[in-house]
Chain A
Amino acid sequence: MDFLTLIQILDTTVRLATPLLFACLAGLYSERAGIFDIGLEGKMLAAAFFSAAFAAITGSVWLGLLAGMGASLFLSAVHGLASITFRGNQLISGVAINFLAAGLTVLIAQDWFQQGGRTPSLAGAARFNEIDLPFQSALADVPYLGPIYSELISGHSILVYVAFLTVPLTWYILFRTRFGLRLRAVGENPAAVDTAGVNVIWLRFVAVGICGVLCGLAGAYLATGLQAGFVKDMSSGRGFIALAALIFAKWRPWYALFACLLFGFFQALSFRPDVVKAVLQFEIPGQLMDALPYILTVVILAGFVGKAIPPRAGGEPYVKER
């Protein structure tokens, strides 16, 4: 395998890791505040549809992005209402959101566009085009560093850079600000936070809201960045892989980055069986590559490699003592 092939595979890895990363960080905020979120998949799907639909109607991808985040936020609000305000089961609410999104997107798409549950193809300003960073063509000929810069780092849509910048931002918010401390505390011991005079319900709603915004970005990236339009069920399980990545990352932002990159890398490798065969001298079935994220998560959950300990108050609605 030559250097350029490696760069190409890593390039694919970055593109595929981006939606996972958004969704994974979305789940991280929510679950750190004690609200499990199975509905990442549904929110991504809803955001993918509404971002593509509004981009197609208005011709502006930015309005599309706003619409996508709005749709995702709406589903987050439903999840919050069901599981925080009415203290319902968080898992059931999440599953309901997944079903709701899968059905509603196709239904609305058919009503609006009559193209069988898809949006028209987007072109030009209606999608996030790849942007070239400065000096990329000038540096392209520099050995090793040139291709890394011009192929791997440059030439992605802006949402990719946003995703990677969200990681240090999340780390800073969660571990260096008062808000982050409280958010984490709400997921561990809400009673203590309540005793300190902080509004638990409000904090949880904020966390679920951030989750909605990030899922909106993930969905918009799928439909308007990676692809040019919405196709039914196009999230195809990425929300669940993101959940697996979250557990694999033990609910930590930097680990989440590595987990998503690793899972993206497995997918990228499964697209290049020729490379895998050349390097390892034997073939690995693509199905195994696809299953690896889940297998690794099970291994982590079983406690073979370190222990994944979820936030202690996760999944439990907070009931104020009387």
Chain B
Amino acid sequence: MTIIKKMLGGAALLALTSTAALSEPALMYDLGGKFDKSFNEAAYNGAKRWAEETGNSYREIEVTAEAQRVQFATQLAERGFNPIVVLGFQNASTIEEVAPKYPDTKFAIVDVGWLDLPNLRQITFAEHEGSYLVGMLAAMASETGTVGFIGGMDVPLIRHFACGYAQGAKSVNADINVVANMTGTTPAAWNDPVKGGELTKAQINQGADVVYAAAGGTGVGVLQAAADADILSIGVDSNQNHMHPGKVLTSMLKRVDNAVYDVFANGVEGFEPGVVTMGLGNDGVGYALDDNNASLITADMKSAVDDAREKIIAGDVNVVAYYENDSCPALDF
């Protein structure tokens, strides 16, 4: 009995000292993993940039199973990390459960904008606007008049991507045929490059010559199959142009890195709760242009897209969000 008491006391002491010693920020990745060359990796790049610039360190943790979500978030809060950035809409319920228990800890969540907590910063992205721009590029690059979209798990967020893409493609060519497929309905759909590759081949058979992948690790297979078949693909979240130089038309950038960097840089003192939307106006989304795809994007394409970008920022062009009424004017699911 005394041994147990001592151990408990020791554990409590340890917890206390660690709380006192640390005010490091922490980052919790979503399923898909830190190096998914996409969403999570973008967040990692932001955190890394902050660490390199400030010389401070941060804690990171990777969720590999559903059951770990609450457990890991609680652990981070319990150990005194502050602020804590959590990635992914699938963690909305995690935060709803954990954040109220630690009112002094600042939380931030990416891809969620519907919670109401005083110590939570919610960062959403206008993915439909970025997707609209790459949809325009796809339609201008397509010679067959058919472009494809391959999503990961069939969830509203991914439909949101698809919807913006279809609207952008149709703004260039009203008759364009947009083929959209989802890889699956379970989280395994984020990590099935074989299925992604076969879906790409199926879309090529339907005439698609530009395919946009918003599918995490599955997208690796999409880009590979597109490069093998000598058609163009579009990457997502991070800049994926380098994966197959000259074969990836562009990448829809979602600057999760900036979002994470900002939260880390502001720290606990500069923390601002509330909902923040990162769109075209504040460089939250955009399309990637570098040496790898410079030859694919002509001056005409660039000026058309940059023009559309200005109009969307100014409000002259309205890109309908899928969330508005859970349906898309340009695409049936």
Contact = CB atoms under 8 A, between A and B. Distances in A.
B235 to A, nearest CB: 14
Interface string A37-57: 000000000000000000000
Contacts of B184: 286-287, 290
Interface string B169-210: 000000000010110110010011111011101100110000
B33 A117 contact: yes
Contacts of A222: 194
A231 B183 CA distance: 16
Contact of A116 (B41, B182, B195, B243): B41
B182 A286 contact: yes
A281 interface: no
Nearest to A114: B35
A133 to B, nearest CB: 19
Contact of B221 (A116, A227, A267, A273): A227
Interface size class of B (residues with CB under 8 A): 20 to 34
Contacts of B188: 233, 236-237
A267 to B, nearest CB: 8
A271 B211 CA distance: 14
Given A116-B34, A237-B188, A271-B181, A227 B193 contact: yes
A315 to B, nearest CB: 28
A96 interface: no
Nearest to B184: A290
B239 interface: no
A5 B198 contact: no
A227 B243 contact: no
A147 to B, nearest CB: 13
B243 to A, nearest CB: 7
Nearest to B182: A286
Contacts of A121: 224, 243
Interface stretch (A8-16, A65-73, A138-146, A251-259): A8-16
A232 B33 contact: yes
B220 interface: yes
Given A115-B35, A116-B34, A232 B202 contact: no
B135 to A, nearest CB: 20
A32 interface: no
A234 B201 contact: no
Given A274-B206, A286-B182, A234 B35 contact: no
Nearest to B189: A236
Nearest to B220: A231
A33 B37 CA distance: 44
B217 interface: yes
B133 to A, nearest CB: 27
B198 A236 contact: no
A121 B244 CA distance: 10
A115 B36 CA distance: 9
A228 B224 contact: yes
Contacts of B217: 118, 231-232
Contacts of A307: none
A274 to B, nearest CB: 7
Contacts of B192: 234, 236
Contacts of A273: 181
Contacts of B198: 12, 15-16, 226, 267-268, 271
B194 A234 contact: yes
A80 interface: no
A272 interface: yes
Nearest to B179: A274
A229 interface: yes
A221 to B, nearest CB: 10
A236 B202 contact: no
B191 A232 contact: yes
A106 to B, nearest CB: 8
Given A12-B201, A229-B220, A271-B202, A236 B194 contact: yes
B149 to A, nearest CB: 13
Interface string A111-132: 0000111100100000000000
A290 B243 CA distance: 30
A189 to B, nearest CB: 40
A268 B191 CA distance: 18
Which residue, of A116, A117, A121, A232, has the highest number of chain B Cβ atoms within 10 A?
A116
B220 A118 contact: yes
B68 to A, nearest CB: 14
A226 B194 CA distance: 7
Contacts of B224: 121, 227-229
A233 B195 CA distance: 12
B197 A227 contact: yes
Contact of A231 (B34, B193, B206, B243): B193
Contacts of B37: 116
B256 to A, nearest CB: 16
B46 to A, nearest CB: 16
Interface of A: 5, 8, 12, 15-16, 115-118, 121, 222, 226-229, 231-234, 236-237, 267-268, 271-274, 286-287, 290
Per CB-CB distance, the 7 closest pairs between chain A and chain B, nearest first, are: A116-B35, A271-B202, A236-B192, A8-B205, A233-B191, A231-B193, A236-B188
Interface of B: 33-37, 41, 179, 181-182, 184-185, 188, 191-195, 197-199, 201-202, 205-206, 217, 220-221, 224, 228, 243
Given A227-B197, A273-B181, 12 more contacts: A115-B35, A118-B217, A118-B220, A227-B194, A229-B220, A231-B220, A231-B221, A232-B191, A233-B188, A271-B181, A274-B179, A290-B185
11 contacts: A116-B36, A118-B217, A121-B243, A228-B224, A228-B228, A231-B191, A231-B217, A232-B191, A234-B191, A271-B181, A286-B181
